């Protein structure tokens, strides 16, 4: 079983976002880059699946500029066997999905893991689009993965809006996108980091995969949200404050 | 323009977000054809779509569409829409799940979780948050059909009633390769966070999972959903499904009550579009007060039960 983990390098969650002067995107100088947290769950889950199946390989794959190789190194340090870097600075998630699909075809992937969305663009498009391009089934917001011992079938638990979870059975090949709570990703150990330096990162260009960038969406006019102004702090004894709050929520704000 | 809205429904009822999408197109003077995928009695759903302003409703019927599935929706919607000359295909929250697969079938892009959209001179432009709302951007579609999903709760669901002529069509959902083997419902029927009008959230100051019950008690009085900060989730006081913030859910309720939440950047990102924010915190210097419309500096264990009692009086 060749498990491909599709990951994205994103700005750290504590990043204060600044917009470029022409509003065409965000400033990326001084940004601390990390592996998107949901993708870390996917890497961890892939390593656990390989351990359970006692066979196969875990490959981390990313589509991004030169710096994205650091995300792959993180995956390798956690324990992935190999990595694939499609060196392509594209903002189009459909291009990324096409690249991932081509890589997985070329490298004989048998299952794709990923996060349910990257925490920069919040779209959750790439894994599902890739699944459709490969004509594989897919399930997202997965909080549990259990493979059959032969690796041919897999049962996942999907978090559904509201309060329910669905237990869903699929056969491989398939795409599984993880949500938080599925596991606690391991930290890369020092030997892991050393070993990662010796592991191969295979590099593809878009043309190696027969692709060229033809964006389907045009992004523009990036803006910071209007600052919320601080309102009022109530004063007085706590019970009086609470009564005042409820009165204001009802009469002034009209929200209850 | 030829606009189609793929409706979402659950337990025989239309999800409010679908009415929101239809009503918003109506307000912009755009006729909408709604698609309902399912089987059996769907009259309550088609009725509500007409009320929201759908001029035409296509019911795509098939036994395999009785329950939602990603592939079933993508396959059946594509099979029908591919011959309809659709220029815009829109959906609501659940659309985030099947719309990317539908977009791949059309070979187009999709913008998920938009907070507004507008039609001008035959072109659709959407606005959507990125970085969980730390900033936002506009998106245009370079290839037709333009596809997007609207975030719940960002526009009104009150539309002008339209004809809502229902046409029933046999659907072709194709092979659905994901089988729901079991539905694991949690003990309590809860209000979904992203669709709630009121949210009461707790932070690490709640000190234990058990203490969240004071929030649940308060929430029950006003039909609110209960949320949690990342700190509370990471401490194991609440499940991840309740997390509000950049690695959790982004919400826009009418009222957001933050209890014992300091207001980290990643949390504010997830709730800053709430209409009214109330902060309850012992620490008068907590950053959350800078974003709150109303603040009470006090111990949540004292304030919340008083709030519950006060709301009970109000609700009689």
pLDDT at B187 over 70: no
- State the total domains in chain A: 2
Q: Which of the residues A20, A24, A135, A137 would you substitute to probe the B interface, choosing the one with the greatest number of B C-beta atoms within 10 Å?
A: A137
Same domain, A202 and A100: yes
Q: What is the DSSP letter of A230?
A: P
Half-sphere exposure of A186 (CA within 13 A, CB side): 17
Average pLDDT over residues A49-56: 96
Q: Which of A139, A164, A174 sits opposite B183 (nearest CB)?
A: A164
Mean pLDDT of chain B: 95
Question: For residue A17, what is the DSSP state?
Answer: P
Q: Which residues pair with B126 in a beta bridge?
A: B117, B139
Question: Bridge-partner residues for A55, per DSSP?
Answer: none
Q: What angle do CA B280, B282, B285 make, to 5 degrees?
A: 95
pLDDT of residue B111: 98
Tell whether A66 is covered by a domain.
Answer: yes
Search chain A and give the residue with CA nearest B222.
A256
Confidence of residue A164 (pLDDT cuts 50, 70, 90): confident
In this complex, the residue of A137, A217, A228 whose CB is nearest that of residue B142 is: A217
At B101-113, the pLDDT tens digits run: 999 999 999 999 9
Query: Which helix (DSSP H) or strand (DSSP E) does residue A2 occupy?
Result: strand A2-6
**Considering only alpha carbons, which residue of chain A is nearest residue B239?**
A181
The CATH architecture assigned to B3-170 reads: 3-Layer(aba) Sandwich (3.40)
Distance from CA of B198 to the nearest CA of A (A): 8
Q: What ipTM was reported for this prediction? A: 0.94
The average pLDDT across B161-178 equals: 97
Assess whether A151 and A243 both reside in one domain. no
pLDDT surpasses 90 at A163: no
Give the closest of B97, B103, B303 to A140, CB-based.
Answer: B97
Instruction: Please indicate, yes or no, if residue A25 is contained in any of the structural domains.
Output: yes
Please write the tens of the pLDDT for every residue from B190-224: 788 988 999 999 999 999 999 999 999 999 999 99
**Is there a contact between A64 and A8 (Cβ–Cβ < 8 Å)?**
yes
Asked if A97 lies within 8 A of B137 by C-beta distance, the reply is no
Angstroms from A195 CA to nearest CA on chain B: 30
Q: For residues B116 and A93, what is the distance between their CA atoms, to the nearest angstrom?
A: 21
Q: Of B316 and A209, which is predicted with more confidence?
A: A209
8 Å CB contact between B126 and B116: yes
Question: Has residue A224 been placed in a domain?
Answer: no
Q: Do A219 and B137 touch (CB under 8 A)?
A: yes
What is the predicted pLDDT for the residue at B195?
87
Residue B180 has pLDDT above 70, yes or no: yes
CB contact under 8 A, A223 and B135: yes
Q: Which of A97, A161, A222 lies at the smallest CB-CB distance from B192?
A: A161
- Is the model's pLDDT at A188 over the cut of 70? yes
CATH of the domain at A196: 3.40.50.620
CA dist list (Å): B88 to A203, A204, A245, B126, B149: 38, 35, 44, 12, 11
pLDDT of B316 over the 80 cut: no
Q: Which residues pair with B48 in a beta bridge?
A: none
Percent of chain B whose pLDDT exceeds 70: 99
> How many whole angstroms separate alpha carbon A140 and alpha carbon A218?
26
- The answer to whether residue A52 sits within a structural domain is yes
B273 has a pLDDT exceeding 80: yes
Nearest CA in chain A to B139: A219
Bridge partners of A65, per DSSP, are none
Question: Which chain B residues have a beta carbon less than 8 Å from that of A120?
Answer: 130-131
Under the banding of pLDDT at 50, 70 and 90, the label for residue A86 is very high
Strands A232-233, B13-14: parallel, antiparallel or unpaired by DSSP? unpaired
User: CA nearest B249 in A: which residue?
Assistant: A122
Residue of B113, B240, B265 with shortest CB distance to A16? B265
**B309: pLDDT confidence band, cut at 50, 70 and 90?**
very high
Chain center to CA of B177: 26
φ, ψ of residue B138 to 5 degrees: the values are -95, 150
Query: Quick check: A14 pLDDT over 90?
Result: no
Put simply, whether B246 touches A (Cβ < 8 Å) is yes
d(CA A166, CA B176): 15
- Asked if the model's pLDDT at residue B226 lies above 70, the reply is yes
The answer as to whether A178 is a domain residue is yes
* Residue B200 DSSP label: E
Same-domain status, A239 and A135: no
Residues from chain B contacting residue A155 (CB–CB below 8 Å): 181
Residue length, chain A? 256
Rounded to a whole number, what is the distance in Å from the CA of B140 to chain A's nearest CA? 5
Q: Read off the pLDDT of each residue in B296-308 and give the average, rounded to a whole number.
A: 98
- Residue ranges of chain B that CATH labels 3.40.50.620: 3-170
CB contact set of B195 (below 8 Å; sequence gap of 6+): A161, B15, B16, B17, B93, B152, B153, B225
What does the DSSP 8-state code read for residue A188?
Answer: P
∠ CA B112-B115-B118 to the nearest 5 degrees?
Answer: 95
The confidence band for B188, taking pLDDT boundaries of 50, 70 and 90, is low
CATH number listed for the domain at residues B193-315: 3.40.50.1220
Of A204-213, B61-70, B187-196, the poorest mean pLDDT is in B187-196
The nearest alpha carbon in chain B to A37 belongs to B247
Q: What integer pLDDT is reported at residue A217 of this predicted model?
A: 96
Is the same domain home to A187 and A60? yes
CA distance A220 to B139: 6
> What's the pLDDT score for residue A64?
97
Q: How many CB atoms lie within 10 A of CB A144?
A: 16
Residue (of B7, B5, B10) closest to B67 by Cα position? B10
Q: Is residue A169 part of a domain?
A: yes
**Each residue's pLDDT tens digit, A104-141:** 999 999 999 999 999 999 999 999 999 999 999 999 99
Give the integer Cα–Cα distance in Å for B297 and B282: 5
What is the torsion angle, in degrees rounded to the nearest 10, for the CA atoms of residue B37, residue B41, residue B42 and residue B43? 150
A221 domain residue, yes or no: no
Domain that holds residue A132: 2-209
pLDDT reading at B171 higher than 90: yes
DSSP B243: B
What confidence score (pLDDT) does residue A135 get? 98
Find the closest chain B residue to A242 by CA distance.
Answer: B307
Contacts of B100 in chain A (CB under 8 A): 123-125, 128-129, 132
Longest CA span, chain B: 61
* Residue in the structure block whose two tokens are 């109530």: A234
Average pLDDT along chain A: 95
Are A103 and A199 in a shared domain?
yes
pLDDT reading at B69 higher than 80: yes
Cβ contact A19–B135 (<8 Å): yes
pLDDT class of A91 with cuts at 50, 70, 90: confident
């Amino acid at each position: 079983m060749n498990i491909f983990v599709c990951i994205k390098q994103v700005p750290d969650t504590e990043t204060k976002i600044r917009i470029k002067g022409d509003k065409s995107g965000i400033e990326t100088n001084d940004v601390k880059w990390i592996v998107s947290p949901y993708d870390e769950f996917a890497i961890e889950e892939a390593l656990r699946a390989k351990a359970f199946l006692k066979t196969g390989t875990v490959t981390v794959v990313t589509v991004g500029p030169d710096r994205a190789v650091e995300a792959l190194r993180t995956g390798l340090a956690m324990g992935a066997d190999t990595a694939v870097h499609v060196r392509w600075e594209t903002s189009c998630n459909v291009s990324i999905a096409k690249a991932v699909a081509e890589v997985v075809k070329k490298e004989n992937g048998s299952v794709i893991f990923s996060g349910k969305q990257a925490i920069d663009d919040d779209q959750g498009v790439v894994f599902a689009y890739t699944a459709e391009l490969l004509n594989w089934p897919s399930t997202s917001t997965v909080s549990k993965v259990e493979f059959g011992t032969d690796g041919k079938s897999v049962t996942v638990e999907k978090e559904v809006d509201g309060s329910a979870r669905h237990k869903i059975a699929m056969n491989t090949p398939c795409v599984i996108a993880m949500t938080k709570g599925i596991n606690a990703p391991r930290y890369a150990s020092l030997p892991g980091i050393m070993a990662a330096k010796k592991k191969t990162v295979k590099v593809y260009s878009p043309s190696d995969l027969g692709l060229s960038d033809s964006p389907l969406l045009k992004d523009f006019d990036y803006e910071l949200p209007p600052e919320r102004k601080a309102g009022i702090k109530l004063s007085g004894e706590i019970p009086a404050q609470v009564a005042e709050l409820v009165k204001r929520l009802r009469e002034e704000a009209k929200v209850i | 323009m030829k606009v189609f809205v793929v409706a979402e429904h659950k337990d025989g009822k239309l999800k409010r977000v679908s009415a929101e999408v239809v009503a918003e197109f109506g307000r912009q003077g755009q006729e909408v054809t709604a698609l309902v995928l399912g089987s059996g009695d769907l009259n309550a759903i088609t009725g509500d779509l007409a009320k929201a302003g759908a001029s035409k409703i296509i019911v795509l019927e098939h036994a395999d569409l009785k329950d939602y599935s990603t592939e079933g929706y993508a396959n059946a919607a594509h099979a029908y829409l591919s011959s309809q000359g659709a220029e815009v295909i829109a959906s609501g929250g659940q659309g985030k799940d099947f719309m990317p697969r539908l977009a791949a079938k059309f070979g187009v892009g999709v913008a998920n979780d938009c907070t507004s959209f507008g039609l001008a001179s035959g072109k659709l432009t959407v606005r959507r948050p990125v970085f969980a709302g730390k900033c936002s951007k506009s998106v245009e579609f370079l290839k037709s059909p333009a596809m997007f999903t609207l975030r719940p709760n960002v526009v009104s669901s009150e539309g002008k009633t339209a004809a809502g002529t229902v046409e029933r069509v046999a659907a072709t959902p194709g092979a659905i390769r994901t089988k729901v083997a079991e539905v694991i419902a949690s003990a309590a029927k809860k209000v979904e966070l992203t669709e709630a009008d009121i949210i009461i959230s707790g932070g690490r100051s709640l000190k234990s999972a058990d203490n969240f019950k004071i929030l649940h008690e308060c929430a029950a009085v006003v039909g609110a959903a209960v949320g949690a900060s990342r700190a509370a989730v990471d401490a194991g006081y609440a499940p991840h499904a309740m997390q509000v913030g950049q690695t959790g859910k982004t919400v826009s309720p009418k009222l957001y009550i933050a209890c014992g939440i300091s207001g980290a950047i990643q949390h504010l990102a997830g709730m800053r579009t709430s209409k009214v924010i109330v902060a309850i915190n012992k620490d008068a210097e907590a950053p959350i007060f800078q974003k709150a419309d109303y603040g009470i500096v006090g111990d949540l264990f004292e304030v919340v039960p008083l709030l519950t009692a006060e709301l009970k009086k109000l609700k009689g």
